[in-house]
């Protein structure tokens, strides 16, 4: 995979979705499609619970998958070294995140980090950014939202007040 980021869709807003150890191929395909539609980069941090060559990933991403701005990293440390996000540029999503997602104040360059579908983010990763954890409020009727739904909610909320994106509507 190409490890070098390409030019963002908007010169003033840059969004990155980071999936750490994603397990479900159709979630990743859907997230790739959402990233393409929002002009965001997609970063996958190994281990992956599937092969990127699987037809299910491509089917979920439809014919858009080849155009997704995708980077695959061997580990979270490798991702951090290459992308070099500041702490202020990180938003980590967890069921017990400290604040609701609508309290995000995203800078122009922003990384939205999500963990595996069944385990979430590791305590080690969460401990690195204790002031940057968010949750998406839900009722007690469900354990959690689907990962691709959560990414869509958080990504578009991070773009909501970005002026170049108001022109889309």
If one counts the domains in the chain, the total is 1
Would 48 be classed as within a structural domain?
yes
Cβ contact 115:157 at 8 Å: no
Q: Please give the pLDDT value at position 8.
A: 43
List, run by run, the mean pLDDT of 10-residue segments along the chain (169 residues).
46 91 92 94 96 73 83 98 97 95 94 97 96 96 94 95 56
Q: Please give the pLDDT value at position 66.
A: 87
Would 40 be classed as within a structural domain?
yes
Would 168 be classed as within a structural domain?
no
Question: Cα 80 to chain center, whole Å?
Answer: 14
Residue 80's domain is classified under what CATH number? 3.40.1280.10
Q: In whole angstroms, what is the distance from residue 157 CA to residue 134 CA? A: 12
- The answer to whether the annotation marks 138 as part of a ligand binding site is no
Q: Please give the pLDDT value at position 98.
A: 93
Q: Please give the pLDDT value at position 55.
A: 73
Helix/strand/coil for 52: coil
Q: Please give the pLDDT value at position 165.
A: 53
Would 114 be classed as within a structural domain?
yes
Q: In whole angstroms, what is the distance from residue 74 CA to residue 93 CA? A: 21
Give residue 138's domain range.
17-162
- The answer to whether the annotation marks 136 as part of a ligand binding site is yes
> Taking CA 156 as the corner, what is the angle to CA 161 and CA 23, rounded to the nearest 5 degrees?
150
Would 9 be classed as within a structural domain?
no
Q: Please give the pLDDT value at position 114.
A: 98
């Amino acid at each position: 995979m190409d490890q070098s980021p390409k030019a963002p869709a908007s010169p003033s807003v840059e969004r990155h979705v980071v999936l750490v150890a994603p397990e479900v191929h159709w979630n990743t395909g859907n997230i790739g499609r959402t990233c393409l539609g929002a002009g965001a980069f997609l970063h996958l941090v190994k281990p992956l619970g599937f092969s990127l060559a699987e037809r299910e990933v491509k089917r979920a991403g439809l014919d858009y998958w080849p155009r997704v701005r995708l980077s695959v990293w061997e580990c979270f440390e490798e991702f951090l070294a290459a992308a070099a996000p500041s702490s202020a540029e990180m938003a980590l999503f967890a069921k017990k995140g400290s604040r609701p997602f609508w309290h995000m104040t995203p800078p122009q360059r922003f990384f939205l980090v999500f963990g595996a579908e069944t385990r979430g983010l590791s305590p080690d990763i969460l401990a690195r950014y204790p002031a940057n954890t968010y949750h998406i409020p839900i009722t007690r009727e469900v354990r959690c939202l689907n990962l691709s739904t959560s990414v869509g909610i958080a990504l578009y909320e991070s773009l909501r007040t970005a002026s170049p994106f108001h022109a889309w509507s």
